[in-house]
Amino acid sequence: MELNPELLLQEARENVEAAQSYRQELGQRLQGLREAQRQIKESASQTRDVLKQHFNDLKGTLGKLLDERLVTLLQEVDTIEQETIKPLDDCQKLIEHGVSTAEDLVQEGEIAILGGIGEQNEKLWSFTKKASHIQLDSLPEVPLLVDVPCLSAQLDDSVLNIVKDHIFKHGTVASRPPVQIEELTEKPGGILVRWCKVDDDFTAQDYRLQFRKCSSNHFEDVYVGSETEFIVLHIDPNVDYQFRVCARGDGRQEWSPWSVPQTGHSTLVPHEWTAGFEGYSLSSRRNIALRNDSESSGVLYSSAPTYFCGQTLTFRVETVGQPDRRDSIGVCAEKQNGYDSLQRDQAVCISTNGAVFVNGKEMTNQLPAVTTGSTVTFDIEAVTLGATNNNEGGNFKLRVTISSNNREVVFDWLLDQYCVSLYFGCSFFYPGWKVLVF
């Protein structure tokens, strides 16, 4: 049976497309395989270099410690020798002086005796008088050998076995770190890093997170603690950064091997407060606002409407001042000068006492009071767009979730008009309040 040429052509095209797709898939897998091979080879090479450098440093340090100990022991020998030999040297001088005196006396006495009695009586008399003045029966004490030091070196050969045992157990080579980075999520001016354990037998006590620009050779610490996520701030937009994490086992001092570095970046513009407002002092990156001693009051707004629905806006209270029920931290549809607080129309906020305000009206539900270290988050999602069938006058509804101190309130917020993005702001009536936004 002869096949239809058009069907053959169609089948051939489909086979070509399938082959192209198959080749593309195989190419991607081949690239992944090469990356895996490169990771093994590069990590093996780095591990060799680290081991060689570490043990060379260890040998140098041990040699230095042994030399210092030898010098200390030799100094102890010198000290004991000098302190114990001096009394013996003094005694030797005394005995040698006595020997010399006795020899002189013997010679003089022998001469006097040879002269006999008679004309030599005067010499005998002089010798006898001289001998009576010398205590010939007084002998100095000479210590017994058991009473003087006999130095020796006490060297415990077991230290070699102890050192050998520690050396043989020193260092390990791990093929996989016990913790890996799980997710990188871009934030305005930052990146949220999440990590997790991949070794079920490893009990982590602390984690250590480092990051660097991909153009840099040096990682720097950015977090040490027990949490498994952290927002790294001060990230430049559209710049690639590398992140790595390690862990410290329960009850141990040393850190585990580093995780495989992960690369991420943020395309989101960082949140900034408006500069030049008299009542607030800003950090260099303008993401931290401090209420100063100025008598000027009012709402400090963001420099631009950089908060978009669907994102999470976070305020962290670094320091606190005297609270006031008119204080506010929140978001609004637009800047409105002349207000002392965000407790107004077209805004939602939380006061420092925990009261929640929607379009200027206080809600029944309340959150805990804001304290040092408190984190206040706003999660806003669009619910309806268009006219509403109620008497509240709004035509755009947002679902707002405000969280603080492990509690949250959820409510609908009606706006007069559709807003693609929102401003954020804060107001404090007394100095000392410092707020970080991200």
Q: Give, for all 438 residues of the chain, the pLDDT tens digit.
A: 566 888 888 888 899 999 999 999 999 999 989 988 988 898 889 889 989 999 999 999 999 999 999 999 999 999 999 988 888 888 888 888 888 888 888 887 777 777 666 555 677 777 777 777 777 777 888 888 888 888 888 888 888 888 888 888 888 777 778 899 999 999 888 999 999 988 888 888 899 999 999 999 899 999 999 999 999 988 888 999 999 999 998 778 888 889 999 999 999 888 999 998 889 999 988 999 999 998 888 999 999 999 998 889 999 999 999 999 999 999 999 999 889 999 999 999 999 999 999 999 999 999 999 999 999 999 999 887 554 444 444 568 899 999 998 899 999 998 888 777 899 999 999 999 999 999
Residue 224's domain comprises 179-264
Q: For residue 11, tell me if it sits in a domain.
A: no
Q: For residue 172, tell me if it sits in a domain.
A: no
405 and 342 in one domain? yes
Range 220-228, long-range pairs (CB < 8 A, 24+ positions): 228/194, 228/195, 228/196
The residue assigned the tokens 């070794």 is: 199
318 and 409 in one domain? yes
State the total domains in the chain: 3
143: CB partners within 8 A, 6+ apart: 88
358's tokens: 């929607």
Q: For residue 1, tell me if it sits in a domain.
A: no
Among residues 112, 140, 168, the one where a domain terminates is 140
Q: What torsion do the CA atoms of 96, 97, 98, 102 make, to the nearest 10 degrees?
A: 100
The residue assigned the tokens 């009394």 is: 87
Q: What is the pTM of this model?
A: 0.59
260 and 313 in one domain? no
Among residues 264, 299, 317, the one where a domain terminates is 264
Among residues 203, 231, 264, the one where a domain terminates is 264
Quote the distance between the C-alpha of residue 99 and its chain's center: 77
408 and 286 in one domain? yes
d(CA 195, CA 408): 25
265: CB partners within 8 A, 6+ apart: 186, 191, 235, 237, 238, 239, 240, 241
99 and 237 in one domain? no
d(CA 341, CA 353): 14
